[in-house]
Structure formats: C-alpha cells, structure tokens
Structure 1
C-alpha cells in the first residue's frame, strides 16, 4: 500500500471510529433522557390530574401565615398528601403539635404537608423533581404553575431552596443558610429528606378547583388580635386580608413566668393537649406543672376563670389569656 493509500485508509478508519463513538453516545443519551421528561417512556410518574376542570383558574396564592395552634387535619391537605403517596408510594406527615412552639407555622393549623423523598437517593430525587415539575408546569391552556394554583400551593421547600407563589419573580431562591451546611445532619432542616408544601386556606380546606371543579376565592383565614401572638382556629372563610401587627413582647422587668406566657399568648389550650404551653398554663393557675391537660387542670382552670369573672369554659380563649397576662403584670 503506497503512502497516499495508507493515509486514506487511516483517515477512513478514524472517521469510522468517530462515527461509532458518536452513535454510542447518542444511544446513551436516548436511553437516559426520557427519564427526565414526565410523560415519556420510562419517565417518572406524576399525579393524575382530574377531569372536568373549569377554564378559569385560581390566581397565585398570597402569603397567609400560620397563626393558630389548631392541630386538625384539613380535607385538602390530606387529599394532596394521599395523592402524592398513591403516585410514589412514599410516606407523609401533616399537622404537628404546637404546644412546644413559640412561633406559629402552617403545620400547626393543618395547612402543610411533609412528603418524604431523600435527595441522596437517585430514584427518590428523580420522583421528587418530577412532582415539583408537575406542580409548576404550564398547562395546555397556557396557565403557568397550573397544578400549584389549582391545589392552593403557597410555597415549596426542597433541597436547600424555596419556591413561593407570592414571590414568583424570584423563582427558586436559597433557603436559609442550607447551601453552606451540606452534611446529613442538616438534611431535615434543609429539606433534603422531604418536600414541604404549605397551602392556602382554600387549598387546605379542599375548596380549590383541583378538587371542587370551581375556582375558589382567597380565604385569609383567622386573624390575630393585636395584643396576643396566636389566633383562635379557623371557623369560616374570611374574604378580607388580616391586619398586620407587631409581635407582642414581654415588658422590661417581666417575671420569668410572664416571659414564658407572652410568646404563647392566644394559643387555644384545651383538655387532651400536652406540652410546654400546658405547663405554662398550669403554673399560672396553680396546679402541678405536669404538661398534661387532664381533669385536674380543667377543673382548676374553670375555677380560675370563675374567680376572674370569665365564662368557665376550661379552654384558654382570648379573654382568658388577657386576664392571665394582666394578673402577671402585662399592661395593654
């Protein structure tokens, strides 16, 4: 073989090798790519959307903070959690005990879902991302964030980041300092082992169009009173935005007990509850601070209410909180 022929042969072999390598790479991409696209062959599942949805759609939810200690599971919250579980087979958590808290949360009034996916598991991470993509996708009618709007999603926390319907121009933004705490010790705090979804009141109550087939108006929920830090629980839809008040703080020179009381002021405590807030109540009314709201506490609270010219309900409604605060040196 002469020099020219040999050069042509080598060139042909090189081109053939490059072509085969390119085909192999394309084959790998073809095999892997569909898993990133919900609805494709081999794609991760997404929840089933209902039929018969109206042409109209809810607007993006405004921010309606949690302000009550009212640990009831809400219809829409439960249905969303079960929809996700049906799709992915994972577990979830809903309402949490609030009596140890000093700041409200949507978990404390039944408006939050923690659905468990672990970002460190490739399959779970893929499913979590598919769920979020489904929530925030534009529908066939051109409505952005369509499923999130029809479900009343207010914000999502996942894998160090936060998406909120009321700060939509920011997209996904860093959550707290999670980018600087990559160890497993911070996986729960930084939502790397679960997705947190907080709902509007209309979403939590199951009144949004995803469930009802009717577009729901904004429900602003119960409003906090200016002199107490917690509100009573939800009782009826509220079409009016609640006033915003500064956090109530204990005055200078307050007793240790008053300092305990003020952050929990307004929290509706009733028989059957337990935790630090119940201990605080027991100290105020003069019974053993066991932390359990049982018959002795109920009887003593009713007697305390009667002595202070209040209805003997055995429940710490706002009037009872005001009287307890005043009795311990709080001035309005």
Structure 2
C-alpha cells in the first residue's frame, strides 16, 4: 500500500478547505507528493524524514535547517510507515488539527486501497466471463478453480441465456442481482450462465416476464459454455426471422431450422429411423405422406387412406410420440417433410 500522488494532492486540497493552514503529504521516503504549496511538490521534507525514521510525531518550533515550524504526523497502517502528513504553523496552534488530518488521511488511503482491490476484482471477473463466453478448449484445473471462486461449478454442464433489451433498466437489474453469473456482452446484450436446471427454469420465467427484455435466446446445457452461447445467439438470429413476435427462442426448439439455415448438415434421417423401428412403420410413414399431400386436411386424409378419423388421430399422435415432432404444427411438419425427402 502506497500513497499515490493523485490521492496526496486530493488530501492536501480537501483538508485545507477545512483547516486554515498549509497541508503537506509526504511519501515513505519523505518527499512531498501533495501540498497546498505546489512549488514544494517533489522536494524532500526534512521534518518528514525524521518522523519516518523515528516512527513518532516530529514537531518543529522555529525556522532552520531547511524546516518550517509545524507538526509532522507519521501515517502508519498495519505497523508500516507509509508516509507523513504535515501541517505548517506553530505546533501549539496546529496541533489540535494534526490528529484529525492524520486520521482522515489514513481513512482516505484505506478507502483508495479498497477501491483498487474492488476495481481489480471487477477486471478479473470481466476477464473470466469473457473467456468463459469464447473459450472452446477443455477447462483446466486453474480455470475450474477460478469459476469455483465465483460460485460457478463448471464440472456440470452449463446453459447460456442471451438477453437483448434494456440491460440497464430497473426491472432487469432486479433480475440479475439474484443471478451473479452474468456479463454484459454489449450495451443492449447480456448473458447468464447457469448450471442448475431449477435455476435455469426460474431465470427463464423471470426474464420472460421482464418489461426490459426484448428477446431471449437459450442454448442447451453443454460441457463448454461457449458452445451454449453460440446456440443462444443462433436461436435468436433464426427464431426472430421465423417468428418475430416471440420473446423466447430456444436452440432445442429451433435446432433443425438453425442447422438448415447455416449448413443443412443436420438432416433428420434419425427421425424416420425411429418410425422404421416401430411396429407399424408402413402405416405411420404412409399416413404422414398422405397427410402432407392433402395439406393437413383431416377429412381428405381419412378418405384417401380409407381409415377412421380416430385412427388418423392415433397415428398422428404416435408419430409425435416417436419423433418428438408434431405433424399438426406447421414448423414441425416442415421438418418431417424434409426428413421424408432425406430418408434413405
């Protein structure tokens, strides 16, 4: 801990606004680093040097030996002399003020040290969450320990929840205060990292009802949070084009369209593998083909297949159960249609 020049100058100026004498602040070597008399800044203060060596108050009553009358109080914190604060004037006159000036100086130095520690911690925290957002290498022990120091268990899979909106709004601030694993990506974007499924669902609910939130994108739980964040970004990018009135877009729901939009790499042949493995594969696939051909018209579908309406409903429900895709939902029906085209 040291006395910075900026703080020394601040101490001298502020104390002189309430104490009617010149104030000098000296560093650990006795050089003046702050003073009401700017011409003396940078010069050696002999009275301060003596106070530092003795560790006690040093008073000067007369001019001489390069010293002016005054009281020089050593600044001691944690049993270490950090410098000296001096008041120029006859000791009998300025002594009543010297203790006040010394105590105030110590408080200001300690406050500056706390502020610096807090600032350093904020910088470290920002660096950590920045790395967490973009790191695509396996987490090493040191990174896991850093995460643990913030209360984030990265031994578990992590969800990234991306939020667009007024991230400085009052309602939004009330939300993020309860979820510390949070980082501002940009002025209007923020990301939360969650490793607990209960907290994930709880946070999604709160964000969904927050007036300051415009859009929410959620990735899946991944070993590396950066992948989940990429998924959340893609979910907003693709989902907002498909359904711009929605607030919440999840990668799980939009996976097919995201891959189709970006590279078409994920072709849902596995959807039909599930139907092929079912006991009634011919009936289910034929039903789906006719249902699509008849534009989802139930009456024409049952007539074409020559089946009862209840049988059609059963088969559509069965397709939904086996594939996870609902033929009655236009977007999911489109995915099933693509699956038919790509089916081997």
Q: TM-score range by the shorter chain?
A: under 0.3
More helix by share: 2
TM-score of the superposition, structure 2-length normalised?
A: 0.25
Q: Which has the larger radius of gyration?
A: 2
The TM-score normalised by the length of structure 1 is 0.25
The structure carrying a bigger strand percent of its residues is 2
